[in-house]
């Protein structure tokens, strides 16, 4: 059985945030799973704590997304909505879009084909 450590998980997910068009875009690359999702959760929480309530999460470079990752996205949406904010997703990858369709989250999230249309 393979063991995972925090340092290994950090290599699997990279996050960069930038302001664009009055919103904050978080570019996510790698895998969002049970090991790496807390890093995304912490990033969203830190931004909201800093008064940033309009987020765009760019999933174009995400290779894998599990239920923990979906939970972080839903939690982030709830967090910004308590401040009358918004959280939109950028995703064109069919394997990820299928997950959003199967779980009914296409009705919950605004999903856009690119950052420009999300802003």
The per-residue pLDDT for 15 is 97
d(CA 83, CA 48) in angstroms, rounded, equals 9
Among 93, 87, 94, CA closest to 110: 87
Say what angle helices 37-49 and 67-81 make with each other, to 10 degrees. Answer: 10
d(CA 84, CA 71) in angstroms, rounded, equals 20
CB neighbours of 89 closer than 8 A, spacing ≥ 6? 56, 57, 59, 73, 100, 109, 110, 111, 112, 118
d(CA 28, CA 99) in angstroms, rounded, equals 17
**For the whole prediction, is pTM greater than 0.85?**
yes
Choice among 6-10, 15-19, 76-80, 102-106 with the minimum mean pLDDT: 6-10
pLDDT at 100 over 60: yes
Task: With beta carbons less than 8 A apart as the criterion, state whether 59 and 88 touch.
Answer: no
């Amino acid at each position: 059985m393979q063991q995972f450590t925090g340092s290994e998980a950090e290599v699997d997910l990279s996050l960069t945030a930038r302001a664009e068009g009055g919103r904050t875009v978080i570019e996510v690359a790698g895998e969002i799973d049970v090991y790496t999702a807390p890093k995304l959760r912490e990033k969203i929480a830190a931004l909201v704590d800093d008064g940033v309530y309009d987020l765009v999460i760019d999933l174009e470079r995400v290779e894998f997304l599990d239920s923990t990752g979906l939970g972080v996205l839903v939690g982030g949406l709830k967090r910004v909505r308590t401040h009358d904010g918004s959280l939109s997703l950028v995703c064109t990858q069919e394997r990820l879009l299928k997950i959003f369709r199967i779980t009914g989250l296409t009705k919950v999230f605004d999903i856009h084909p690119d950052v420009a249309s999300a802003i």
